[in-house]
Chain A
Amino acid sequence: MRILIVEDEDKTSSFLSRGLRESGFLVDTSPDGERALLLVLERSYDLVILDVMLPGIDGWEVLRQIRARGLRMPILFLTARDAVDDRVRGLDAGADDYLLKPFAFSEVLARVRTLMRRPPIQAREDLCVADLEIDLVRQRATRSGVRLDLTAKEFALLGLLVRRHGEVLSRTFIAEQVWDVNFDSDGNVVDVAIRRLRSKLDDPFEKKLIHTVRGTGYVLEDRT
């Protein structure tokens, strides 16, 4: 899995490539659009992370030229909120996504994995972590054989955490995936939802499965 990062800010480029390499990706970087266009033709990338504001030709032009050359790999935009144009949402390629600066790395990782349609670390068929088993078809979850009494949204939240288990998911990502809302909320809606889920999933049992990653989000994993 090879990723090209087109970003002119050194520090950003460096933490992105380091983080992605540590997550098992092959990463190339380019500080400008011209070099990026040469690279995309030279090697085949599975994904391009593209900053919109670039010296010389900007991200939009890079996107246009990549598409004009018949390359269809997904492209993840990085942009500042004051520059977010609604064009972003109007992008034809459904797989394309964007991230608002400033962002956390876990956010990037979650989106990269979604865009590359990488299967979850755990195979889909047996959705079970430790003694937790969930049945996506019948919308049922059990721990140590005990049926958990979950609401539909709680089940959706648990489903997401299990499917991406071992992966830290940000609050924004969770809100987007579970409730299909992508607005920022001043409050702690996701925290409350997680707490309520924990009270059913973890509180009655010795082994805790949902863990808080401070400043980043939540992860479901078996930490024994």
Chain B
Amino acid sequence: MISALGILAISSVVLYAILDWELDRENRQLVSTLLAVLTEDAQEPDFHFLLPGMDSPKQPYQLRVFDESMRVLFASSGMVDVPFPDRTADKNLIVELNLPSGRFMTSANWTERAEDVPFRLVQVAVDITDDAVLLSHYRLAAFGVLVTGLAACALISVVVVRRGLRPLREVTLATGRISASQLHERLGATTWPAELMELVTSFNSMLSRLDRAFQSLSRSSSSMAHELRTPINNLIGEADVALSFDRSASEYRAVLESAMEEYQRLAKIVDTLLFFARADNPQHKLRLETFDGAQSIRKVVDFFDSVAADAGVTVTSTGAEPVTANATLFMQAIGNVLNNALQHTPAGGSITVELGHDEGGAARVAIRDTGVGIGPDDLPNVTEHFYRTAASRATRRSGMGLGLSIVKSVMDWHSGRIEITSELGKGTQVVLTFPAAQSP
């Protein structure tokens, strides 16, 4: 808006300057021409024939003639106020005068000094009052145009900016409406101008991500509350019943022992939550080391040996590969996956743990079972905190539903990946990828 106004102002000034200069040039030309013609006429012995019509105050040009000794021979009535010229009059010198009777442009010239020619000084004055008035009108008009232009500019800008920003304001209003309880709301997809389409699309996809994260968070906190409620409920109930009558020492002992079990459960929940908090905090750097992956896997498999024997499942491990990871968490991740596999593989089945590497040199542990598999509805959620499939909820044999979510945290912490593929009734494959060591 300011630039528009600037252009307007500059062009007015330029036009004014051009007009001023043009008028001035025309007037000077008029003065020169008149002076030349009249000087020539004044060389005639009798110059009065020049006068008729000129001796009127309305006449735009006026004349005065002097003799050699600067006595006025003749003066038109308009010349009253115009001062006498110098004796050394120069026809090229044109003087502009501001007089009470108006504005004049004047010049004077001597006739040629020759035989039989009267030596006279001719002074011409042209009234340019009208031009000055014209210019002052013009100035006024330009100023008016400028002011009007400014107002128009401002008005148009406001209207244009408002119109242009209206979709943005609508976006703002729409985002303002979205609170945690309305994360499912999206910005309408059709009415936006092209410039905003990208913003709206990425905003909507951010909302989807938030929505998913929020839902998963609220699901896991509700499962967590439930998970905490059970042991606390048992503790309160048992203590309450125990205290309602006098009991023998062994009965009190049994209550305390049962309480110990519940405390252990609570301790485990707290411990795991602290682990998640720590894994989620990017400030906690992992202490990594490079070790023989096969040996660590063998240890884990050994550990689960009795469970596998009990379940009638054979576990075999293959492959050799150096792994760069946090050794304890590496074993923890494999242990949890293996534990899960053991719980969902019926007797006679088998589990293989295969250690290898991918094209990028990252260590890759694939754990395959011939178990019941995970349904497509559950598959995306199995790594969520406290998530249990309907089947495992029914049997209540698989702990708290934290196993795979711990694995996920471990993998995230290592900037690694967990990929789970499964087919109902055929089995599940979990692939853990630990990135190769960063060369320093």
For residues 174 through 229 of chain B, which have their beta carbon under 8 Å from a beta carbon of chain A?
A: none
- Could you tell me how many residues of chain B have their Cβ less than 8 Å away from some Cβ of chain A? 45
If the complex has contacts A186-B399, A186-B403, A216-B260, are A80 and B310 also in contact, measured as CB distance less than 8 A?
Answer: no
- List residues of B (288-329) whose CB comes within 8 Å of A's CBs: 299-300, 302-307, 309-310, 326, 328-329
Binds B, one of A14-22, A126-134, A188-196: A188-196
Query: Which residues of A from 172 to 224 have beta carbons under 8 Å from B?
Result: 175, 179-189, 192-193, 195-196, 213-216
For the complex formed, measure the closest distance between the CB of A11 and the CB atoms of chain B, giving whole angstroms.
14
Cα-based distance from A91 to B259 in the complex (angstroms) = 35
Specify which of B270, B275, B299, B310 is in contact with A192 (CB 8 Å cutoff).
B310
**Cross-chain contact A184 with B257 (CB below 8 angstroms):** no
Task: List, sorted by A's number, 7 A–B pairs whose CB atoms are closer than 8 Å.
Answer: A181-B331, A183-B329, A186-B399, A186-B402, A187-B307, A196-B306, A215-B262
Residues of A within 8 A of B278 (CB): 81-82, 84
Top 9 nearest A-B pairs (CB, nearest first) are A215-B260, A86-B287, A183-B332, A214-B257, A186-B399, A82-B274, A193-B306, A215-B261, A102-B267
Q: Which of A86, A153, A214 contacts B326 (CB 8 A)?
A: A86
Is B339's beta carbon under 8 Å from chain A? yes
List residues of chain B with CB within 8 A of the CB of A102: 263, 266-267, 270-271
Which B residues form the contact surface with A (CB < 8 A)?
A: 257-264, 266-268, 270-272, 274-275, 277-278, 286-287, 299-300, 302-307, 309-310, 326, 328-329, 331-332, 335-336, 339, 342-343, 398-400, 402-403
Closest to B265 in A: A215
Q: Are A179 and B275 in contact (CB under 8 A)?
A: no
Residue A72 is within 8 A (CB to CB) of chain B in the complex: no
A184 and B268 form a contact (CB under 8 A): yes
Most buried by B among A100, A153, A187: A187
The residue of chain B having its C-beta at the shortest distance from the C-beta of A196 within the complex is: B306
Q: Is the CB of B399 within 8 A of A181?
A: no
Residues of B within 8 A of A103 (CB): 267
In the assembled complex, the Cα of A84 lies from the Cα of B328 at a distance in Å of: 13
A183-B331, A186-B336 are known; give 15 further A-B pairs, CB within 8 A: A81-B274, A82-B278, A86-B287, A104-B264, A180-B299, A185-B336, A186-B399, A186-B400, A186-B402, A186-B403, A187-B339, A196-B309, A196-B310, A215-B262, A216-B260
Nearest-neighbour CB distance to chain B for A189, whole angstroms, equals 5
